[in-house]
Structure formats: structure tokens, C-alpha cells
Amino acid sequence: MPEKLKKPLIYAALIMWTIVALFPIFWTFSTTFKVAKDVQLGNIVPWLQYKPSWLGLRALGLSPDTIWTFSTPRDEFIKRFWNSIQASIGGASLALVIGSIAAYGLSRFEYKFGTWRNKDISFFFFSQLILPPVVLAMPFLVLYKELALLDTIFGLILIYALSVLPIVIWIMRDQFDTIPVELEQAARVDGCTTWGAFIKIVLPIALPGMVAAFILSVILCWNEYFFAALLTSTNAKTLPVMVASQTGSQGISWWSMATLASAAILPLIIIGVFLERYIVKGLTAGAVK
Amino acid sequence: MMILLLAGLQAISKEIQDAAKVDGATGWQGFWQITFPLMLPISVTTIVLRIIFQLKLADIVINTTSGGPGGASDTISSFIFREYRDRSNVGYGTMVAEVYLILIIIFVTLLLRFVSKYMQKTQ
């Protein structure tokens, strides 16, 4: 192949793939501005095939002409959005605190549990990833009912922390493994306690990995639908459940569903664009082995 | 998953690529004989993780087709969920969940054993 043709061809292939990858997101955003007929006909190009309208945003009370008036759907949307933020950030923070300590222990100390050694304990944590959440659905429902945690944000935070804990431990353990043990020994010689060495020396060095683990956990919790649908009803319902429940008696209101979905992916897009560098940096430091 | 692959790619040092280029390897040769073998452990990890995650797939099925038409697009997870929610068949659903758990443990154990044997062979 001649050199001259090579570059345009590569770029053409890349642009093609970009369009394929981004089309669903574009579709979601554009459906926000469609009326029912355009959704059913599959009109795609704005202004040429259909006239954009504020239907989706008006249904949520967010369009320019209704933003200052009272709107019940908007109040509900804000409540769900806030619920989602609380649940995902709370769950990720809790998992990060517990997971970092567990990973530090696994990386620095020798444990014995029957015939189990550190490697087996790590694999035990990791094996929680394999467990399908649907297996735990009924036990958790009964347990939460007994503990009166049903339909509370705190309950969601607990279960989200549980479900992202394996990933946090996995990333943080590899992160701690890359930090030379001599640094802590030097700190211990200088009079730090084990906890002091951990907090003052190891944590600042492991910060990129912690950021990566935190962001990944927030994203996973944000997208979590299954437990949110099962364990919440009116009070603590999160955004994904609200998106899925836009099927009224008059058919599915695609525009408000699309608006909600756009609002749900917007924070993730912002995180992805601005913090992608930190995620990759944190993972490159040794999480992939 | 792409993040894992990207992190793995960035972990491969540029010097190895440059060395291959100096020895006269073309771009494709450099990819197949240097980058691909070095990436293999990460690629296998990614594929295994992906398989494990997809075994849990339920929410997409429930929300797009709810298992229809006639249960044709049910995954086991979504089937159990619908058994609980739509038919209130808690006993049957729990039994399916237990059998599924046992099957998954067997399957993943075999998968991981196969993968670790394969990795030892390549190294």
C-alpha cells in the first residue's frame, strides 16, 4: 500500500468506528427533542427529518419556558438524582476505606486461616465478583426487611459497598505491592506506628490508585440497577430505576425516558473526559497482572 | 474493559518496539510478535472478566424485552428476577438461583484452571 493512502485510510476506519460507538449516545440525546411520531418513524437527522421540540425537557419541567414554574416531575427527578449521588459516592467511599485497609493487610502481612494463605484469601475476595447478584436477591430482601433497611439510602450504600469491594481490594492490593516496603521500615525506625506509617507514608503514594478505584466504584454504583430496583420503592429510588419506570399507561414516553437517560449519563461523561487520565495512571501502576 | 487494555498497552515500554523497528520489523510484525504476546495475559484476564460479568446480565434483558417473546431472550439471572417479581414464585426462583450458583462455581473453576494452564504454557 502506498504511504500516501495509508493515513487517510486509517483515519477513515477510525472515524467509522467512532460513529458506530457514539451513535447510541447521540440517539439518546436527540430523542430528548423528538415527538412520538419521529421516535416511531426513526427520524435521525435534526431539522432535516424532524423539527426539534422541548417535549422531553418540558415533561420534566426543565425546558426554558417551564424552568421557573412549579413542577412535580422535576422535584422527583432532582430527588432521584440526589439519591443516586448519595448512594454511589457513599458506597464507593465506604468500599474504599474498608478495601484499602484490607488490601494493605493482604499486601504487607502474612495471614493464616486454616490451610489458607494470603493468596487464597485474595482469591476469596475476588471470587465475590463471580457471584451473580440475583442469587443474593431473596436473602437480602428478607434481611433488609428484618433490619428495617428496606427503601433507605443507608441500605443501598451498604450493598453497593459490598458489591464494589472486590474490585477495590484487587486494585489497591496491586497498588500497595508496587510500593517498596523499605519506605515504611524507614518510617517505623523514625518512630511511626504501623497506623502512622500507613496513613502518612503509604496512602499519599497510593493516591493515584485510590482515585482510580474510587472513580471505577462510583461508575459501577451509579449504573447499578438490580439491587436498586429490588430494595427500594418510593423513598430511596435511584435514577436508573426511574429511567426504567417511564412506561406509563399510554405507552412508553420515549422523550422523558431519553431526557432522564441523558441526565444519568452526563455525570459519567464528565468523569470520563476529565478523569480518564487518572484512571489509566492508577491502573498502569500495577493493577493489571 | 477498554481501560484495562489501554493501561496494559501503556505499560509496555516503547524501547521494545523501537528495538524491533531497528531490527527491521514492519508495523504488523511488531504488533503480532511483540505487542500481542506481551498483551496476552492482560487480554486473557479481560476476556475472563467479561465472561464472568456477562453471566450476571439481568437488567438489560428485564428492561428491553422482559424475557420475551415467550422467554426466548431470558438469561438465567433475568429469569430468576422475573420469577420473583412477576410470578411471586419465591421457592422455585430460589431453587433455580442455587442450581445456577453451583453451575457457575463449576464453570468458572474450570475456566480459571484452563486459563492458568494456558498461561503457563505460553510463558
Please give the pLDDT value at position A190: 84
Please give the pLDDT value at position B123: 62
CB contact under 8 A, B3 and A244: no
CB contact under 8 A, B10 and A289: no
CB contact under 8 A, B42 and A288: yes
Residues of A in contact with B41 (CB under 8 A): 289
Please give the pLDDT value at position A282: 67
**C-beta separation of A50 from A34 below 8 A:** yes
Residues of B in contact with A226 (CB under 8 A): 58-59, 81
Confidence band, pLDDT 50/70/90 cuts, at residue A18? very high
Candidate from B52, B84, B100 with C-beta closest to A138 = B84
- Per DSSP, the residues of B18-45 read HHHHHTT--HHHHIIIIIHHHHHHHHHH
Please give the pLDDT value at position A89: 92
Top-confidence residue, A284 or A52: A52
For residue B105, the SS3 value is helix
Residue A289 has pLDDT above 50, yes or no: no
Mean pLDDT lowest for which of A29-33, A88-92, B64-68? B64-68
Please give the pLDDT value at position A177: 83
Residue A209 has pLDDT above 70, yes or no: yes
Residue A14 has pLDDT above 90, yes or no: yes
- Closest CA–CA distance from residue A255 to any residue of chain B (Å): 16
- Closest CA–CA distance from residue B12 to any residue of chain A (Å): 10
pLDDT in tens, A140-170: 888 988 998 888 889 889 999 998 998 888 8
Q: Which residues contact A105 (CB under 8 A, 6 or more apart)?
A: A111
Residues of A in contact with B63 (CB under 8 A): 225, 244
Residues of A in contact with B45 (CB under 8 A): 288
Residue A35 has pLDDT above 60, yes or no: yes
Mean pLDDT lowest for which of A78-82, A215-219, A245-249? A245-249
Residues of A in contact with B4 (CB under 8 A): 283, 288
- Per DSSP, the residues of chain A read --HHHHHHHHHHHHHHHHHHHHHHHHHHHHHTT--HHHHHHT--SBTTTB---SHHHHHTT-STTTTTS--HHHHHHHHHHHHHHHHHHHHHHHHHHHHHHHHHHHHHS---BTTB-HHHHHHHHHHTTTS-HHHHHHHHHHHHHHTT-TT-HHHHHHHHHHHHHHHHHHHHHHHHHTS-HHHHHHHHHTT--HHHHIIIIIHHHTHHHHHHHHHHHHHHHHH--HHHHHH-SSSS--HHHHHHT-EETTEE-HHHHHHHHHHHHHHHHHHHHHHHHHHHHHHHTTT--
ipTM: 0.74
CB contact under 8 A, B81 and A134: yes
Closest B-chain CA to A283: B7
**C-beta separation of A217 from A157 below 8 A:** no
Top-confidence residue, A218 or A53: A218
Share of chain A above pLDDT 70, in %: 92
Residues of A in contact with B13 (CB under 8 A): none
Confidence band, pLDDT 50/70/90 cuts, at residue A133? confident
Cell of A233: 420503592
Chain A residues touching chain B at CB-CB below 8 Å:
129-135, 137-138, 225-226, 229-230, 240, 244, 276, 279-280, 283-284, 287-289
> pLDDT tens digits for chain B (123 residues)?
667 777 777 777 777 777 877 887 777 777 787 778 878 877 887 888 888 888 888 778 877 777 677 777 888 888 888 888 777 888 888 888 889 889 888 988 888 888 888 877 766
Cell of A113: 486461616
State mean pLDDT over A205-221. Answer: 85
Please give the pLDDT value at position A97: 93
Please give the pLDDT value at position A248: 61
Please give the pLDDT value at position A17: 92
Confidence band, pLDDT 50/70/90 cuts, at residue A95? very high
Residue A217 has pLDDT above 50, yes or no: yes
